[in-house]
Amino acid sequence: MTSTTNGTSVLVGIFADVRVQLTRYVYCPFFILGNIGNILNILVFSRESLRTSICSIYFLIMSIANFVSINIGLLTRILSTLDIPDPSRNVAWYCKGRAYISGLSLTIGRYFLCLITIDRVLMTSIHVTIRQLSSFKIAKWFIPIFCLSWAIFYIHTLIGYENNSSGTNCIRQAGFYSTFTTVCTISIDAIIPIIIMTIFTLLMMKHIRALRLRREKNIIVPVKQITTVGSHMRTTTINAISNQDGRSQESNIHSIERQREKQLTRLSFVQVLIYIIFNLPNAVYVVYMLIVTNEKKTADRSAIESFVSLFASILTYIYCTLNFYIYTLSSATYRAKTKQILRQCFNRRHLRIFPSQN
């Protein structure tokens, strides 16, 4: 049995110290790196050369949402752990506003990632009518309606969150509202996005294989003509030789496309896997808390649950800091674009410091 001092569990002090150390050496670095990464994401995807793709628009909106999430949701949790006054604990409008903005931005970030996986499926389809669904004409009305729908849905946080009677915490109301938010966390935050991303990633892989087979079939057809049409063999062979350079160029294009397909597949799988790792624990913990709500708890158990609750919720915000680094590690194209932007920024700064003299 854990010893106690003045009626307080030793675990309370241990976990309090662990939280402080995690904040200093894990959460704070992630917060800084996340801001840098999301700013670079916004710079990359807002470039005119990339705004020709619907996917890039989705990436841009997701990066903005993630930037808001870590500066509203993660920052206040870091400050409270370091004993810096958190206004959400005793200021009602800030408590409600933080719950609304952090919940909305997290959800928009999640579901724009889902839209990205859906758009990849549309773009890789062999059917023209399906590919046409990925268009700016549709996105112009879909994106505002999509964001507005979530903004209206999260109005419930403005009603359901409040400061506790002692004015020391910002909490959700007990009873029905607590159950409602638990169901939302399990379904909207975890199960639905994971199902959408998994299904559409598998569909994208199926489409990519179909495209590859179609290209290979188009390359093989002329060869079959050479071997089967005997009376025209001489003419066909000459045409094949005269088109050798063109076929070589086409082969290079297909090789580049295969590399891009591999990058896209790898990026999609990494995104789904990391999303599950960083978002599922919070949903599991919420289910656990719903089951044990009415149980009597010892001081040790309460200390453990408090620590796990904070850690699981912060994991969802840490996920928002990782996207830039996922793209950088998984995509050569993205690395090249980022290097180009950094080089341009450095050159502009260099010209301001050392202006050319005529």
Give the model's confidence band at 230: pLDDT under 50 very low, under 70 low, under 90 confident, else very high.
Answer: very low
Q: What is the pLDDT of residue 258?
A: 66
Percent of the chain with pLDDT over 90: 27
Q: What is the pLDDT of residue 118?
A: 92
Which position has the token pair 């093989």?
Answer: 220
Q: How far are the Cα atoms of 57, 59, 265, 335 from residue 112, in angstroms, in the given order?
A: 10, 7, 18, 22
Among 87-91, 234-238, 349-353, the minimum mean pLDDT is found in: 234-238
Cβ atoms of 92 and 165 closer than 8 Å: no
Q: What is the pLDDT of residue 245?
A: 54
* Full DSSP string of 287-336: HHHHHSTTS---HHHHHHHHHHHHHHHHHHHHHTTTHHHHHHHH-HHHHH
Report the chain's mean pLDDT, rounded to a whole number.
Answer: 80
* Full DSSP string of 147-203: HHHHHHHTTHHHHHEEE-TTSS-EEEPSTHHHHHHHHHIIIIIIIHHHHHHHHHHHH
Average pLDDT over residues 152-174: 84
Q: Which helix (H) or strand (E) holds 121?
A: helix 92-123
The DSSP symbol for 16 reads: H
Contacts with 208 (C-beta within 8 Å, 6 or more apart), sequence order: 124, 261, 264, 265
Tokens of 94: 């800030």
Q: What is the pLDDT of residue 255?
A: 66
In whole angstroms, give the CA distance from residue 65 to residue 345.
Answer: 24
Tell me: pLDDT of 116 over 60: yes
Tokens of 89: 């604990």
| pLDDT, tens digit, 9 for 90 and up, residues 186-197 | 999 989 999 999
In whole angstroms, give the CA distance from residue 311 to residue 353.
Answer: 45
Give the model's confidence band at 126: pLDDT under 50 very low, under 70 low, under 90 confident, else very high.
Answer: confident
Q: What is the pLDDT of residue 306?
A: 85
Does the global pTM surpass 0.85? no
Tell me: pLDDT of 26 over 80: yes
Give the model's confidence band at 102: pLDDT under 50 very low, under 70 low, under 90 confident, else very high.
Answer: very high
Tell me: pLDDT of 78 over 50: yes
Q: What is the pLDDT of residue 29?
A: 92
For residues 209, 214, 219, 222, the Cα torsion angle rounded to the nearest 10 degrees is: 150
Tell me: pLDDT of 261 over 80: no
| pLDDT, tens digit, 9 for 90 and up, residues 269-282 | 888 889 999 999 99
Tell me: pLDDT of 224 over 70: no
